[in-house]
């Protein structure tokens, strides 16, 4: 940490005549101060004459925006996938199920091609930054030089670890070599995580520079470690770690859906049906914990700067959260739809099918409540009839209490869907099965009652008390999920099966739900990226470096949505192309499974172990 | 097609959509008042949003089981291909595009209403105004007629002025229900309302009468208040007289400057 | 396969289309950049008010809290029966007139926290220039009160020194970062003060800074630097006139740093 500071000052001390080589600390300091004195007036002049490059047609900001967003999407993919690739490999290793090992390898194959795209877009972003925002970039480079070098080095390690991990897969398949191989996977994750943490340091510095950095602070004086570990750094790290898993799962799901639709044989269909299911499960599972990380990040933003928090939640970005509510509504509906359609291929699921319509009703009411705007868009006549911009009856739903209650019910419902899906073809054999189910039901009822109670009670207390209620509600839901799943795991031990899941017998429309999920996740990431970056408003580095470019004003959501859509299109266009290339070059992984089926029978091999959820 | 329409997924879907529409368009508006809860018509944008959600929900419901999805599609499919359904098919082919065309027309057709905006009913007054070429400082200004001449005479004079000029809109009971009132949006204010003149100083009332709708500051926009600027038609004395009439007739006490100063100290 | 590909494409494009449409259907609000405000000394109150109003409703970002919500006192209309801001400002704090109160409330927002609100507001000088802050003061005064802000308040721009008493009484004078590069001791050396005055102990020529803060107020120190002949320290009467009157060219922020530093030597 300290070395960073030293190097920073050394580099900038003018060489001739200075006695800093004698090693006396104070002289070094004096030298730095002298330099500062010389540099300071020049630095003060910079805002007036700071130059920006331009980019044809779309403008410099949009160019950098798109490059950054597409780079980030690829980066999220290559950071998210290794996390569950290593987990699935471990399941294969310890569970002795070859299928998981194959799945893990297929994940990694996607990784390989996506990795170079990440690097290319990183390069594009870097060159655009240097040419379009030269002054800002040189400012950041002066603070972060050391970390940038480390970053590049780690990137190097990461790529080669990935090559070893993929190409060594079949070579180190058995015994201790397999352990080594798994270790490579872990190392891959470690490198990736550090790389992301470093890059997060740069961007969070722009959002929340340390308090002692002001307009007058020369970049050489900023300590590297304090700049990296700023207020929002850790929350963003955690938030992105989880979101990367969600995103990786969703894109893998979309890939599997594509291969499912393109499949020529039943074996292939079965394999990709299963892969899509796993991807979807990973995405939805990680999504449920994401709001906690988001809540922490939001709190840190408020604590760093109230005004920034208010800009984000109540200021010009307040409508962004209505869009977010809409997108998350789409995610919930599509995720549940996929599960419900999937029940059609599970023998025994017909027992639960009649209940889906009630769960659907809860979800729809939840979405309606959650997306009800507090301030409505209406014509003059309608305002006159309402007597203001707030509807006298519906505005009740627009408040935080109503919305939190709605979203908690949606989470509970999705969890119930998942539970029924899990239970569909199983028949518990433990003697207390009936009691257990009743207890599970009771937990659900109690949790719903608590969520509802706080939802209604929230209207009767002041705002400050009400904010605390959302924590109680979320904790209740979490406790319910943990309690019910524990009972479920114990209860279904050794459960008899009503028949195996018929992988591959899935209607095609379910696969389109996976596409919608992937597109929505990606778009949501773009939107949240805009929110995170946009709350800086007209600052490059918040309250330190002003944005004096022609694009300093933060755009409205309409324009942003067009840019985000363009990013998503570019991303999926490239992904499709890369995957298509991959299928040209290699035989599908499934072919080996197909050969195995001749000997062992594909149907049994592709079915998950009963314990698999 | 032996099943009853309400047993068939297509019929059920249609019923749900229609019921949802009735609920959003009329139910939310008319049902809560029956239980003593205030409500109002739901803005079109919100109805659209709700209906979109419900339609998506219905589509999810009809397609989440293979069997129901087939059932749901069957009649649609039949109408599209069966030779015996030609009349119905042709009718749909004509009416659906027409309906879409009409909806599009209805959306883009020009209307006379002003664009929507947030509007403050009691905007902050300026510190001073220019009245017939003279500068009047509103801050701390009191009705001069309260201390000179006969209050009763002022009241009678104010009554005459009110009836001649103000009554057509603000009503003979000062309740904002004049003959012309229903033609205006925003509607003329009711002086009986505890939210209007009782909250204001007489100088504020003077300012509003003198400058009218055209003199509203920006936060009270859009400038479609029909209140005329009376400064060209009434003298300062006449405006003060009608102000006295407003307060005497309604029984409200005007807000005074000293009182505010005292309250201000408490904070 | 072409059909499948096309339908996938249709689903993706359809999704993006719906999202983009929804984002365009809502009210479009752009966050504007607060413009740099340049006003001459003889600016009229109307110009100030207009500039302040624009800032208030736009780039100043005031309405995020001081709108019609409950985060902060409402500045546009009456607050809790105390009248409009232009009226109530003079009554809020004893000894502070309206102008002074409003300005202090902006550069040191927690000095006079209004009862019932949390101390969430930030020093406005972090984001606004001195001129902008004065324009806002003028605008707020105009809401029910008399505008007393004049060009003199920000005549020297940078505002800090010129505004005299008002700004000096505000602890958070702009640009004075606590650990910024404005190291006072370094400034003393650079502006040659240290040639004659020592920070501690015996001075080469003039009085030492040691304990000067307990004898003189910040205002007196500033006056003595800008006009050295105005008064002499006890025991240095004979030296009156030796210190040259050339220190008016020290940049305001640096002068302020020096003054605060000397005033802190007790």
Query: Which of A262, A538, A561 shows the shortest C-beta gap to C19?
Result: A561
User: In this complex, do A515 and C8 lie within 8 Å of one another by their Cβ atoms?
Assistant: yes
**CA-based nearest residue to B117, from A367, A44, A384, A299:** A384
Q: Determine phi and psi for A571, rounding to 5 degrees.
A: -60, -50
Lowest mean pLDDT among A548-562, B156-170, C130-144, C154-168: C154-168
Lowest mean pLDDT among A128-142, A594-608, B77-91, C116-130: A594-608
Same domain, B88 and B198: no
Same domain, B198 and B169: yes
Lowest mean pLDDT among A463-477, B4-18, B52-66: A463-477
CA distances from C229 to C223, C233, C248 (A): 10, 11, 13
Report whether pLDDT(B13) > 50.
yes
Average the pLDDT over A123-136 and give the result.
92
What's the confidence (pLDDT) of residue A48?
A: 40
Same domain, C144 and C52: yes
What's the confidence (pLDDT) of residue A23?
A: 37
- Residue of C92, C143, C145 to mutate, testing the B interface (most B Cβ within 10 Å of its Cβ): C143
Average the pLDDT over A69-85 and give the result.
93
- Which among B108, B143, B164 is the end of a domain? B108
pLDDT digits (tens, 9 = 90+) for A134-152: 989 989 999 999 999 999 9
Lowest mean pLDDT among A68-82, A342-356, A468-482, B125-139: B125-139
Residue A147 and residue A228 in contact, taking contact as beta carbons nearer than 8 Å: yes
Same domain, C66 and C150: yes
In a domain, C13, yes or no: no
- For residue C79, the distance in angstroms to the closest alpha carbon of chain B comes to 10
Same domain, B18 and B50: yes
Same domain, B184 and B55: no
Number of domains comprising chain C: 2
Same domain, C90 and C203: no
Helix axes A318-342, A356-370, angle to 10 degrees: 170
A258-265: which pairs have CB atoms within 8 A and are 24 or more residues apart?
A258/A511, A258/A576, A258/A579, A258/C8, A259/A588, A260/A506, A260/A511, A261/A508, A261/A511, A261/C4, A261/C8, A262/C1, A262/C4, A265/A590, A265/A594
**CA-based nearest residue to C28, from A377, A398, A526, B43:** A377
**CA-based nearest residue to A487, from A431, A440, A429:** A440
- Which among B59, B79, B108 is the end of a domain? B108
Tokens standing for A65? 């925006």
Same domain, B43 and B161: no
Flag whether residue C2 sits within 8 Å of chain A, measured between CB atoms. Answer: no
Is B135 or B264 the better-scoring residue by pLDDT?
A: B135
Three-state DSSP at A382 gives helix
Same domain, C63 and C137: yes
Q: Determine phi and psi for B130, rounding to 5 degrees.
A: -105, 110
pLDDT digits (tens, 9 = 90+) for A533-546: 998 888 899 888 88
Residues of chain C neighbouring A377 (CB-CB closer than 8 A): 25-27
Helix extents (H) in chain C: 2-25, 45-57, 85-92, 98-107, 130-142, 165-169, 184-190, 212-215, 218-226, 252-263
Per-residue pLDDT of chain C (266 residues; tens, 9 = 90+): 788 889 999 999 999 999 999 898 877 777 777 766 676 777 777 788 888 888 887 777 777 677 655 667 778 777 767 777 887 887 777 777 888 888 888 888 878 888 777 777 777 777 777 888 888 888 888 887 788 887 777 765 444 333 333 333 333 333 333 334 577 777 887 777 877 788 887 777 778 888 888 888 888 888 888 877 777 777 777 777 677 777 776 777 778 888 888 888 87
Flag whether residue C113 sits within 8 Å of chain B, measured between CB atoms. Answer: no
What's the confidence (pLDDT) of residue A95?
A: 82
Cα nearest neighbour of B54 on chain A: A364
Identify the top-confidence range among A109-123, B107-121, C237-251: A109-123
In a domain, B120, yes or no: no
Same domain, B101 and B210: no
Residue A417 and residue A339 in contact, taking contact as beta carbons nearer than 8 Å: yes
CA distances from C239 to A271, A465, A609, C202 (A): 97, 66, 98, 16
Tell me the sheet residues that pair with A546: A539
Cα dihedral across residues B27, B30, B34, B35: positive or negative: positive
A52/A135 Cα distance (integer angstroms): 8
Residue C164 and residue C97 in contact, taking contact as beta carbons nearer than 8 Å: no
Is B228 or A386 the better-scoring residue by pLDDT?
A: B228
Residues of chain C neighbouring B123 (CB-CB closer than 8 A): 76-77
**B contact chains, 3+ CB pairs < 8 A:** A, C
Same domain, C107 and C154: yes
Q: Which domain holds residue B246?
A: 128-266
Tokens standing for B96? 């659906």
- For residue A594, the distance in angstroms to the closest alpha carbon of chain B comes to 28
What's the confidence (pLDDT) of residue A151?
A: 93
Same domain, C153 and C188: no
In a domain, B204, yes or no: yes
Same domain, C160 and C224: no
Same domain, B153 and B47: no
Same domain, C199 and C231: yes
Number of domains comprising chain B: 2
Flag whether residue C9 sits within 8 Å of chain A, measured between CB atoms. Answer: no
User: In this complex, do C181 and A516 lie within 8 Å of one another by their Cβ atoms?
Assistant: no
A66/A569 Cα distance (integer angstroms): 11
In a domain, C227, yes or no: yes
Residues of chain A neighbouring B53 (CB-CB closer than 8 A): 329, 364, 367-368, 371
In a domain, B114, yes or no: no
Residues of chain B neighbouring A360 (CB-CB closer than 8 A): 57, 60-61, 64
Same domain, B162 and B262: yes
Band of pLDDT at residue A46, cut at 50, 70 and 90 = very low
In a domain, C56, yes or no: yes
Same domain, B94 and B145: no
- Which among C141, C169, C197 is the end of a domain? C169
Same domain, C151 and C205: no
Identify the top-confidence range among A91-95, A596-600, B212-216: A91-95
Query: Chain A residues within 8 A (CB-CB) of chain B?
Result: 329, 333, 336-337, 340-341, 344, 353, 356-357, 360-361, 363-364, 367-368, 371-373, 376-387, 389, 391-394, 507, 509
Domain with residue C104: its CATH number is 1.10.760.10
Residues of chain B neighbouring A333 (CB-CB closer than 8 A): 56-57, 60
Residues of chain C neighbouring A520 (CB-CB closer than 8 A): 15, 19
DSSP B243-259: HHHHHHHHTPPPB-HHH
A475/A247 Cα distance (integer angstroms): 25
In a domain, C179, yes or no: no
In a domain, C195, yes or no: yes
Same domain, B146 and B209: yes
Classify the complex by whether its ipTM is higher than 0.90, answering yes or no: no
Lowest mean pLDDT among A513-522, B40-49, B254-263, C123-132: B254-263
**CA-based nearest residue to A181, from A195, A165, A167:** A165
- Which among C120, C140, C169 is the end of a domain? C169
Q: Is C144 left (phi over 0), alpha (psi -120 to 50) or beta?
A: left
Same domain, B152 and B248: yes
Same domain, B251 and B160: yes
Specify the DSSP class assigned to residue C34. P
Same domain, C135 and C106: yes
Average the pLDDT over A54-65 and give the result.
90
Cα nearest neighbour of A373 on chain B: B46
User: In this complex, do A371 and B43 lie within 8 Å of one another by their Cβ atoms?
Assistant: no
Report whether pLDDT(B59) > 90.
yes
What's the confidence (pLDDT) of residue C165?
A: 31
CA distances from B136 to A242, A418, B206, C125, C228 (A): 65, 73, 11, 35, 48
Exposure pattern of A529-563 as b/e (b: 16+ CB <10 Å)? bbbbbbbbbbbbbbbbbbbbbebbbbbbbbbbbbb
Band of pLDDT at residue A598, cut at 50, 70 and 90 = very low
What's the confidence (pLDDT) of residue B263?
A: 31
Same domain, C149 and C202: no
Same domain, C158 and C200: no
What's the confidence (pLDDT) of residue C52?
A: 85
A181/A101 Cα distance (integer angstroms): 12
Residues of chain A neighbouring C19 (CB-CB closer than 8 A): 323, 327, 520, 523, 561, 564-565
- For residue A168, the distance in angstroms to the closest alpha carbon of chain C comes to 34
Domain with residue B235: its CATH number is 1.10.760.10
In a domain, B198, yes or no: yes
CA distances from A22 to A19, A27, A32, B41 (A): 6, 9, 15, 82
Exposure pattern of B156-176 as b/e (b: 16+ CB <10 Å)? ebbbebbeebbbebbbeebbb
Q: Which of residues 170-189 of C touch A (CB under 8 A)?
A: 175, 177-183, 186
In a domain, C97, yes or no: yes
Three-state DSSP at B137 gives strand
Specify the DSSP class assigned to residue C245. S
C136/C170 Cα distance (integer angstroms): 17
pLDDT digits (tens, 9 = 90+) for A411-458: 999 999 988 888 888 888 888 888 999 999 999 999 999 999 998 888
Report whether pLDDT(B199) > 70.
no
- Which among C169, C196, C212 is the end of a domain? C169
Q: Which domain holds residue C56?
A: 45-169
């Amino acid at each position: 940490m300290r070395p960073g500071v030293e190097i920073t000052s050394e580099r900038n001390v003018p060489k001739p005549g200075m006695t800093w080589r004698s090693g006396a600390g104070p002289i070094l300091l004096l030298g730095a101060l002298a330099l500062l004195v010389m540099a300071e007036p020049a630095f003060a002049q910079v805002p007036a004459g700071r130059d920006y490059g331009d980019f044809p047609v779309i403008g410099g900001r949009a160019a950098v925006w798109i490059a950054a967003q597409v780079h980030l999407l690829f980066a999220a993919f290559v950071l998210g996938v290794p996390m569950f690739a290593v987990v699935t490999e471990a399941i294969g290793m310890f569970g002795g199920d070859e299928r998981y090992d194959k799945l893990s390898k297929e994940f990694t194959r996607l990784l390989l091609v996506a990795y170079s795209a990440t690097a290319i877009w990183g390069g594009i972003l870097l060159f655009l930054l240097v040419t379009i925002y030269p002054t800002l970039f040189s400012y950041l480079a002066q603070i972060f030089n050391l970390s940038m070098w480390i970053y590049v080095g780690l990137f190097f390690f990461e790529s080669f670890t990935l090559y070893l991990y993929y190409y060594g897969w079949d070579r180190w398949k058995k015994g201790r070599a397999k352990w080594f191989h798994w270790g490579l996977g872990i190392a891959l994750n470690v490198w990736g995580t550090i790389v992301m943490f470093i890059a997060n340091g740069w961007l969070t510095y722009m959002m929340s520079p340390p308090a002692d950095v002001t307009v007058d602070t020369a970049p050489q004086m900023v300590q590297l470690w304090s700049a990296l570990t700023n207020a929002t750094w850790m929350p963003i790290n955690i938030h992105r770690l989880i979101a990367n898993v969600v995103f990786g799962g969703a894109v893998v799901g979309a890939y599997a859906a594509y291969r499912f639709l393109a499949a020529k044989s039943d074996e292939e269909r079965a394999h990709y049906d299963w892969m899509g299911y796993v991807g979807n499960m990973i995405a939805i599972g990680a999504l449920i914990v994401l709001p906690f990380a988001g809540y922490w990040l939001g709190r840190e933003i408020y604590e760093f700067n109230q005004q920034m928090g208010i800009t984000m939640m109540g200021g010009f970005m307040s409508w962004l959260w209505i869009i977010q509510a809409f997108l998350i509504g789409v995610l919930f509906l599509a995720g549940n739809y996929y599960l419900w359609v999937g029940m059609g291929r599970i023998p025994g699921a017909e027992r639960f099918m009649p209940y889906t319509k009630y769960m659907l009703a809860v979800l729809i009411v939840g979405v309606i409540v959650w997306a009800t705007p507090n301030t409505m868009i209406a014509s003059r006549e309608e305002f006159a009839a309402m007597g203001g911009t707030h509807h006298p009856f519906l505005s009740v739903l627009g408040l935080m209490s109503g919305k939190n209650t709605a979203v908690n019910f949606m989470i509970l419902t999705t969890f119930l869907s998942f539970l029924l899906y899990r239970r569909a073809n199983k028949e518990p054999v433990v003697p207390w099965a009936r009691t257990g189910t009743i207890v599970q039901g009771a937990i659900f009822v109690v949790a719903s009652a608590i969520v509802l109670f706080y939802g209604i009670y929230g209207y009767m207390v002041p705002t400050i008390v009400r904010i605390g209620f959302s924590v109680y509600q979320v904790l209740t839901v979490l406790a319910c999920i943990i309690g019910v799943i524990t009972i479920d795991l114990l209860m279904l031990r050794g459960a008899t099966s009503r028949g195996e899941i018929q992988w591959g017998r899935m209607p095609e429309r379910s696969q389109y739900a996976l596409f919608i999920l992937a597109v929505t996740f990606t778009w949501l990431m773009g939107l949240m990226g805009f929110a995170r970056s946009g709350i800086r408003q007209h600052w490059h580095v918040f309250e330190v470096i002003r944005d004096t470019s022609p694009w300093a004003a933060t755009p409205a959501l309409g324009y942003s949505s067009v840019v985000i859509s363009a990013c998503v299109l570019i991303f999926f266009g490239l992904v499709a192309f890369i995957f298509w290339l991959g299928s040209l070059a290699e035989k599908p992984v499934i072919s080996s499974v197909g050969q195995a089926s001749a000997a062992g029978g594909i149907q049994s091999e592709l079915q998950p172990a009963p314990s698999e959820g | 097609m032996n099943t009853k329409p309400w047993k068939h997924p297509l019929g059920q879907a249609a019923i749900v959509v229609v019921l949802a529409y009735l609920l959003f368009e009329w139910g939310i508006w008319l049902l809560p008042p029956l239980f003593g809860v205030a409500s109002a018509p739901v803005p079109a944008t919100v109805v659209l949003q709700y209906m979109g959600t419900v339609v998506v929900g219905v589509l999810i419901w009809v397609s989440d089981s293979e069997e129901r999805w087939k059932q749901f599609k069957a009649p649609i499919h039949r109408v599209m291909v069966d030779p015996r359904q030609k009349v119905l098919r042709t009718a749909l082919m004509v009416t659906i595009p027409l309906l879409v065309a009409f909806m599009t027309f209805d959306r883009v057709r020009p209307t006379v209403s002003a664009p929507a905006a947030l509007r403050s009913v009691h905007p902050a007054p300026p510190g001073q105004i220019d009245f017939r070429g003279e500068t009047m400082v509103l801050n701390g200004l009191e009705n001069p007629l309260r201390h000179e001449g006969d209050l009763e005479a002022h009241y009678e004079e104010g009554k005459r002025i009110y009836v001649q000029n103000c009554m057509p809109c603000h009503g003979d009971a000062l309740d904002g229900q004049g003959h012309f009132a229903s033609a205006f949006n925003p509607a003329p204010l009711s002086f009986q309302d505890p939210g209007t003149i009782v909250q204001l100083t007489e100088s504020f009332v003077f300012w509003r009468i003198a400058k009218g709708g055209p003199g509203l500051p920006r936060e009270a926009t859009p400038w479609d208040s029909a209140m005329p600027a009376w400064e060209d038609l009434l003298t300062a004395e006449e405006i003060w007289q009608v102000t006295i009439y407003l307060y005497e007739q309604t029984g409200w006490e005007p807000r005074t400057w000293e009182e505010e100063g005292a309250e201000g100290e408490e904070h | 396969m072409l059909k499948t590909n096309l339908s996938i494409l249709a689903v993706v494009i359809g999704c993006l289309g719906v999202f983009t449409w929804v984002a365009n259907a809502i009210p479009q609000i752009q966050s504007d950049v607060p413009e740099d405000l340049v006003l001459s000394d003889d600016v009229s109150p109307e110009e100030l008010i207009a500039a302040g109003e624009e800032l208030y409703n736009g780039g100043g970002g005031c309405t995020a809290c001081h709108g019609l919500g409950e985060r902060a006192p409402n500045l546009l209309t009456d607050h809790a029966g105390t009248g409009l801001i232009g009226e109530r400002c003079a009554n809020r704090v004893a000894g502070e007139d309206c102008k002074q109160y409003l300005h202090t409330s902006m550069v040191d927002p927690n000095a006079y926290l209004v009862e019932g609100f949390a101390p969430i507001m930030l020093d406005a000088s972090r984001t606004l220039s001195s001129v902008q802050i004065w324009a806002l003061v003028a605008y707020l005064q105009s809401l029910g009160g008399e505008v007393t802000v004049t060009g003199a308040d920000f005549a020297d721009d940078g505002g800090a020194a010129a505004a005299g008493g008002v700004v000096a009484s505000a602890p958070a004078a702009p640009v004075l970062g606590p650990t910024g590069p404005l190291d006072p001791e370094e400034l003393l050396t650079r502006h040659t003060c240290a040639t004659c005055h020592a920070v501690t102990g015996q001075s080469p020529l003039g009085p030492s800074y040691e304990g000067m803060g307990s004898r003189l107020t910040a205002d007196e120190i500033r006056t003595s630097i800008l006009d050295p002949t105005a008064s002499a320290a006890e025991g240095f009467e004979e030296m009156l006139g030796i210190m040259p009157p050339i220190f008016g060219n020290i940049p305001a922020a640096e002068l302020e740093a020096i003054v605060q530093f000397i005033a802190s030597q007790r």
